[in-house]
Amino acid sequence: MEDDAGFSRSELPNGIAEDIAGVDGVRAVAGEAMGITRFTDDTTATPGDSPFDIGPIVRNWIADEALNPLTIVRGRAPKAEREIAIDAKTADEEGLDVGSSVGIATAAGGAKVKVVGITRFGNSDSADQSGTVTAAEPWVFSVIGDGEAAYSTILVAATPGTTERALVDSLKRVAPDTVRVQTGSAFATRRRRRSARSSMLRPVLQGFSGLAIFVCAFVIYNTFAVVVTQRIREVALMRAIAATPRQIRRSLQAEGLVIGLIGSLAGLAAGTGLTVLLSWVLKRLDLGLPPSRPVFTTSILLQGLIVGVGVTFIAVLIPSFRAGRTAPVAAMREAAVESAKAPKVRTIVAAVLVVLGVAGMATTNGVLLAVGAAFALIGTFMAGPALAVVFSKATGALARALGIAGRLGSQNLARQPKRTSNTVNALVIGVFLVTLVTISGNSLKRWSVDSLNDLSTADFVLGTPTGALPEPVLTGAAKLDGVTAFVPMRSFATRRDGHPDAITSADPAQLAAIGFKTSAGSLDDLGDGAAVSSFSRTPVKLGDTIAMTALDGRTIELPVRAILEPTFDTFQAGVIVAPSTLDAIDPGAPVKAAMVAVSPSKVDDVDKAIADLTRDYANVFVQKGNFIGQMIGTVFDFMINAVNGLLGMSVVIALIGIVNTLSLSTFERRRELGLLRAVGMSAREVRRMVRIEAVLIALLGTTTGIAIGSLLAWLLLRSTDLGAVSFAPSKLAWVFAAGVLVGLVASIPATRRVTKFNVLDALAVD
């Protein structure tokens, strides 16, 4: 509601809801408590091995319908102990319904509960991607904590006529300084800003679309060039009957515009259909995404149409000008075909550009690196005809082993090297980018994961967001076979410099055994002071005094007696004090975490044993020492695969280009193919020849793309501090295999076509 206001933090002070209820202008107040549970029966909601796997979110059921974001769609709301309502998504996944019984983990251990209701969150089945479980107060506090009422959020509804600003001002007067007060509209504004930040994905996707269009331009150009070559006699006849070069150009350019318009309209229709299909698939998969529908605007459709027509028109300019410059008599001669030799000047310029590019990339200067990469790529594309000739000769011996079909297929690459080069370049771009992303991404992933793992000292960290770690978990984990150090850590929740931070106490000798080290001072001589990690948001040094703010508003000042070396564990531990100092601050501070060091040979056994110990305790979380590294590695894998998936579109377009070129080439060479059949070459051998030619074209593009992608990645990464470059040979092998597959698939239409030629009709072609 517009007049609602709320404020939230990890744990609000006790009694604050009652204080707020007495504020003028407040119509209704509801506390919101949240935690995490796990299904202890054999269900898919139990967390798995992924670092992103968590169990369902537990929420208290809010009686006030105006403040409760959930609605009951079947059954009723939970009212008593061991009654829960679950979201429709989880109910469907787990095969549960009203009346079902299921085991869940609670802070006190496992509990058998009854499902009494099914909920929805607005237009979505669930408020939380991992599932939503609601329970009634006060039992919900025993599920997520120690049984004491503790809210993370207070929802407030205003009385009619009360403005947001007036209500916020009133709430701030009763709320502690550690609590943030915000209006409903302010909360919505922040959500819109987060949505705006997520819209950064749009230019990224547009970049991949631009790449696909760029590759399309290669395919269109090459296809049109082949078509114009096949119609050269028709063009010559038009010139002979007084058609001017300008008329020839305009005719071909108009043809390109019409083709571009038809193709763009077809592309818009196909893209629209695929968008609707993808939206339907995502909805069926129920990935927890907010409900939405495809957005089609006039500007988007016009942009697609203009870009499609424009790119097609630009791609046909060169073939149209080339056709306009051709002399009628020269064009009518049978010898008017492309030279089988690579242009010398073009090859020399290409070699110079590649050398200059490699030299630029060998430096550490950012500008020279970028310019060098551009030179190397342009040089490689210009060297395409020469590479086609060289590759044809290099594969000649291997091709000859496949008989006359192999030899002719290999030689066909060098018959028209420019055409081969233009066909290959589209594939080179896609494979080059896939290789560059794969090598760079894997190298960065390896460096990041190794660096993060080096910052973890404990093998396992046990923790709880509410209450204390259960005693059975503490005693059981400490006695496990293979545990070399076990450090229970008492803590007191505070804030420092406006951010949550904890005051923690543990035995100094045990901390040293787990891997805590100081860069200044000593853990054995803290006295009434503290040890602070150098990971601290605010830099500190020995002798400084840090101020911590407790939830009740009091300020705790501690002199810095030691600086801890930076690790994730020292950062998580917070501000470390001697046990006597914590006793003076809060004698009842609970054990909220425990760090465990394990013998390397026993890590897997201890991992399983700890999982068994904590299975029935919803408020206990187990974090492996390499958790962050594993999480970052998973993120990198997803990003690499996602980017390569998008880049794969350019490879698909290149495949279409190879199909076009081969189909047009076989039609152009039908007299030659008829002659081969007439002198005894079987239809099977003709098909094999075309298939070998297609595979060799794909291999040329694949090997060139892998080569320049690997070289560029190595040159770029060697200028960084990432260490050894990870070339990911297994992944590059898959790229190479995909190149062979592209060639085989591209040959299918052409091989079908060549065997349909009538030999006599083919020989009669003039």
Whether residues 703 and 752 fall in one domain:
yes
Residue 39's closest CA among 499, 538, 754, 616? 616
Least confident among 251-260, 498-507, 589-598: 498-507
Q: Which two tokens stand for residue 627?
A: 């958790």
Q: What are phi and psi of 326, to 5 degrees?
A: -75, 130
Element housing 629 (H / E): helix 627-668
Residue 132's closest CA among 100, 96, 91, 95? 91
The 8-class DSSP code of residue 8 comes to E
Q: Would you state the pLDDT for residue 481? A: 92
Domain span at residue 710?
388-456+626-766
Whether residues 320 and 467 fall in one domain:
no
The runs of H, that is alpha helices, within 669-758 are 670-678, 683-717, 729-754
Whether residues 491 and 603 fall in one domain:
yes
Whether residues 635 and 753 fall in one domain:
yes
> Rounded distance, CA 323 to CA 239, Å?
10
In sequence order, which residues have a C-beta less than 8 Å from that of residue 586 and are 6 or more positions away?
A: 492
In a domain, 290, yes or no: yes
Give the three-class secondary structure for 593: strand
Whether residues 509 and 656 fall in one domain:
no
Which residue's entry shows tokens 């349909």? 756
Whether residues 283 and 320 fall in one domain:
yes
Which comes out higher in pLDDT, residue 173 or 194?
A: 173
Question: Tell me: the pLDDT tens digits for 723-751?
Answer: 777 888 888 888 888 888 888 888 888 77
Question: Tell me: the pLDDT tens digits for 350-366?
Answer: 889 988 988 887 777 77
Question: Tell me: the pLDDT tens digits for 644-695?
Answer: 777 877 788 888 888 887 777 777 777 777 777 777 778 788 888 888 888 8
Looking at 132, 163, 198, the residue that finishes a domain is 198
Looking at 150, 168, 198, the residue that finishes a domain is 198
In sequence order, which residues have a C-beta less than 8 Å from that of residue 490 and are 6 or more positions away?
A: 504, 505, 506, 579, 582, 589, 590, 591, 592
Question: Tell me: the pLDDT tens digits for 57-107?
Answer: 888 898 888 788 888 889 999 998 899 998 888 888 888 889 888 888 877
In a domain, 353, yes or no: no
Confidence of residue 13 (pLDDT cuts 50, 70, 90): low
Element housing 500 (H / E): strand 499-505
Mean pLDDT score, 369-378: 84
Whether residues 749 and 695 fall in one domain:
yes
> Rounded distance, CA 239 to CA 237, Å?
5
Confidence of residue 166 (pLDDT cuts 50, 70, 90): confident
Q: Would you state the pLDDT for residue 764? A: 59
Q: How many domains does the chain have?
A: 4
Whether residues 407 and 450 fall in one domain:
yes
Residue 416's closest CA among 171, 191, 692, 222? 222
Q: Which two tokens stand for residue 55?
A: 């169990």
Q: Would you state the pLDDT for residue 75? A: 92
pLDDT at position 766 over 70:
no
- Looking only at the bridges linking them, the beta strands covering 530-533 and 591-598 are unpaired
Residue 498's closest CA among 544, 542, 539, 537? 537
- Looking only at the bridges linking them, the beta strands covering 591-598 and 483-496 are antiparallel
User: How far from the centroid of its chain's Cα atoms is residue 48's Cα?
Assistant: 20
> Rounded distance, CA 538 to CA 524, Å?
24
Which comes out higher in pLDDT, residue 106 or 326?
A: 106
The 8-class DSSP code of residue 515 comes to T
Torsional sign, CA 497, 499, 505, 506 = negative
> Rounded distance, CA 107 to CA 97, Å?
25
Which comes out higher in pLDDT, residue 166 or 754?
A: 166
Question: Tell me: the pLDDT tens digits for 611-620?
Answer: 888 887 877 8
> Rounded distance, CA 110 to CA 615, Å?
8
Whether residues 662 and 588 fall in one domain:
no
> Rounded distance, CA 711 to CA 705, Å?
10
In a domain, 366, yes or no: no
In a domain, 356, yes or no: no
> Rounded distance, CA 291 to CA 182, Å?
26
Asked if 98 and 49 touch (Cβ cutoff 8 Å), the reply is no
Give the three-class secondary structure for 460: strand
pLDDT at position 404 over 50:
yes
In a domain, 666, yes or no: yes
What does the DSSP assignment read for 438-468?
HHHHHHHHHHHHHHHHHT---SEEEE-SSS-
Give the three-class secondary structure for 150: coil
User: How far from the centroid of its chain's Cα atoms is residue 216's Cα?
Assistant: 25
Q: What are phi and psi of 577, to 5 degrees?
A: -130, 165
Asked if 389 and 342 touch (Cβ cutoff 8 Å), the reply is yes
pLDDT at position 337 over 60:
no
Share of the chain above pLDDT 70, in %: 86
Asked if 464 and 592 touch (Cβ cutoff 8 Å), the reply is yes
Whether residues 637 and 750 fall in one domain:
yes
In a domain, 586, yes or no: yes
pLDDT at position 111 over 60:
yes
Looking at 625, 641, 660, the residue that finishes a domain is 625
Q: Which two tokens stand for residue 242?
A: 């007084």
Beta bridge partner(s), residue 483: 598
Which comes out higher in pLDDT, residue 86 or 500?
A: 86
Q: Would you state the pLDDT for residue 520? A: 87
Asked if 717 and 671 touch (Cβ cutoff 8 Å), the reply is no
> Rounded distance, CA 564 to CA 571, Å?
9
Whether residues 495 and 545 fall in one domain:
yes
Q: What are phi and psi of 157, to 5 degrees?
A: -110, 135
Overall size of the chain counted in residues: 766
> Rounded distance, CA 254 to CA 263, Å?
14
pLDDT at position 454 over 60:
yes
In a domain, 378, yes or no: no
pLDDT at position 509 over 80:
yes
Which comes out higher in pLDDT, residue 571 or 197?
A: 571
In a domain, 360, yes or no: no
> Rounded distance, CA 160 to CA 183, Å?
15
pLDDT at position 340 over 70:
no
Which comes out higher in pLDDT, residue 220 or 16?
A: 220
Question: Tell me: the pLDDT tens digits for 117-156?
Answer: 999 887 777 777 778 898 988 888 888 777 777 777 888 8
Q: Would you state the pLDDT for residue 341? A: 61
Q: What are phi and psi of 311, to 5 degrees?
A: -65, -40
Average pLDDT over all residues of the chain: 79
Whether residues 314 and 395 fall in one domain:
no
